[in-house]
């Protein structure tokens, strides 16, 4: 086994704790070439596509990567922000705000953000944390609900990085926070604020990212955690079962996926006389192509063209104070037992360095 070179170590340097906020990923630009690179990496992950490689590779490289990038690039271009991809912009802001908010609570953390697919990669940001002196790293996947295709894939990537390094930091992972009181409260506050500004629609639809239906039968807890998030949010808002629906979006391929599907549900609601709907996506920590284009453009059009009169999209929590506060509480709970608050004792560190050098440590 060949290991990557270790960062220079200076005896007496205080041990630090790092936080790595990981989201799914995004093309670096809304162009066919950049989108093709992103899709190739994303759709090559066996956690995402559970089809034998020999069967999937010809489909991916012979059909999908030849036809889909141009169409996807146009969709990305329709939601691209001045600062870049919305997912990247919001994730960067979340990492910055987390460092500041946790710092105000007394935690001296090094916070970095990473993308599972695309840049900055998880490996490069783990290298940056190690170079900055992090000997402990908490990995926070920005997926409230656990899913093998998302959360577990982040763990896989961290493990691949670990295989190439000799001196590993202590590692912890946040598996999920789908029912965390702070997260539910932040979602509920965002809905209430929307109602105060825009008025309340006839029904609240909660749309989560879809997964193949077989994932539920195989033991993935994602479906159950989405339903629990929906139930807890409805309870926090005082909604009866008739006043909200949980649906699943982003179907891919011909196989059966988790139901009910978002767009057909919206069409049916409108066709049956429902005039207005509010829609929120509680499974996304940041607005992205799936929320801004698929929901706020395509799903909106589907509802209105089927007879609905008002469609209101409630944005993701993004960099809202309630969201940062909730994530900070999740982080604090998972940091328990790690020394993150006490300031380094310069004199004690100097004594440690002198003792190490006396015993023959390299300078």
pLDDT confidence band for 362 (50 / 70 / 90): low
User: Shortest CA distance to 137 belongs to which of 157, 158, 116, 152?
Assistant: 158
Q: Is the pLDDT of residue 320 over 90?
A: yes
Q: Extract the tokens encoding 279.
A: 């829609």
Q: Is the pLDDT of residue 196 over 70?
A: yes
Cα separation, 251 vs 249, in Å, equals 6
The whole-number average pLDDT for the span 172-177 is 98
* pLDDT score at 357: 45
* pLDDT score at 12: 60
pLDDT tens digits, residue range 12-28? 677 899 999 999 999 99
Q: Is the pLDDT of residue 328 over 90?
A: yes
Q: Is the pLDDT of residue 349 over 80?
A: no
Q: Is the pLDDT of residue 122 over 80?
A: yes
Q: Backbone phi, then psi, for 19, in 5-degree steps?
A: -125, 125
150: Cβ–Cβ under 8 A, 6 or more apart, which residues?
A: 24, 116, 141, 143
* pLDDT score at 353: 47
Q: Residue 245: which H helix or E strand, with range?
A: strand 244-249
252: Cβ–Cβ under 8 A, 6 or more apart, which residues?
A: 210
pLDDT confidence band for 252 (50 / 70 / 90): confident
* Cα angle 208, 178, 94; round to 5: 85
* pLDDT score at 4: 86
pLDDT tens digits, residue range 138-158? 999 999 999 999 999 999 999
SS3 of residue 356 by DSSP: helix
- Contacts of the segment 253-262: beta carbons below 8 A, 24+ positions apart: 255/212, 255/213, 255/214, 256/212, 256/213, 256/214, 257/210, 257/211, 257/212, 257/213, 258/210, 258/211, 258/212, 258/213, 258/215, 258/216, 258/223, 258/226, 259/213, 261/210, 262/205, 262/207, 262/295, 262/299
* pLDDT score at 345: 54
pLDDT tens digits, residue range 255-310? 899 999 999 999 999 999 999 999 999 999 999 999 999 999 999 999 999 999 99
Do the Cβ atoms of 22 and 141 come closer than 8 Å?
yes
**Mean pLDDT over the full length of the chain:** 93
Q: Is the pLDDT of residue 352 over 80?
A: no
């Amino acid at each position: 086994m060949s290991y990557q070179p270790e960062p220079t170590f200076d005896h007496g340097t205080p041990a630090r704790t790092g936080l790595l906020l990981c989201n799914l990923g995004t093309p670096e630009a809304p162009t066919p070439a950049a989108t093709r690179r992103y899709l190739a990496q994303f759709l090559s992950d066996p956690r995402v596509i559970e089809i034998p490689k020999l069967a999937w590779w010809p489909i991916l490289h012979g059909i999908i990567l030849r036809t889909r990038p141009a169409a996807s690039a146009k969709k990305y271009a329709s939601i691209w922000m001045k600062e870049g991809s919305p997912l990247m912009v919001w994730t960067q802001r979340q990492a910055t705000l987390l460092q500041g908010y946790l710092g105000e609570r007394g935690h001296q953390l090094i916070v970095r953000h990473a993308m599972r697919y695309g840049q900055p990669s998880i490996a490069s940001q783990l290298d940056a944390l190690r170079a900055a002196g992090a000997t402990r790293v908490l990995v926070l996947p920005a997926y409230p609900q656990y899913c093998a295709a998302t959360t577990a894939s982040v763990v896989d990537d961290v493990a691949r990085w670990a295989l190439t390094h000799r001196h590993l930091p202590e590692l912890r992972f946040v598996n999920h926070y789908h029912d965390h009181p702070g997260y539910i409260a932040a979602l509920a506050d965002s809905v209430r604020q929307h109602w105060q500004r825009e008025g309340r629609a006839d029904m609240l639809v909660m749309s989560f990212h879809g997964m193949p239906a077989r994932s539920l039968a195989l033991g993935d807890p994602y479906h159950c955690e989405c339903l629990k998030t929906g139930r807890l949010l409805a309870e926090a808002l005082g909604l009866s079962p008739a006043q909200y629906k949980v649906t699943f979006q982003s179907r891919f391929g011909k196989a059966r996926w988790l139901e009910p599907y978002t767009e057909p549900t919206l069409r049916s609601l409108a066709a049956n006389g429902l005039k207005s709907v509010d829609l929120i996506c509680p499974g996304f920590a940041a607005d992205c192509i799936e929320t801004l284009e698929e929901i706020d453009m395509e799903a909106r059009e589907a509802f209105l063209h089927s007879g609905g009169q008002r469609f209101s999209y409630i944005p993701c929590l993004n960099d809202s104070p309630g969201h940062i506060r909730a994530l900070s509480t999740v982080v604090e709970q998972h940091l328990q037992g790690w020394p993150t608050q006490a300031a380094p004792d310069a004199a004690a560190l100097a004594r440690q360095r002198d003792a190490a050098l006396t015993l023959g440590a390299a300078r």
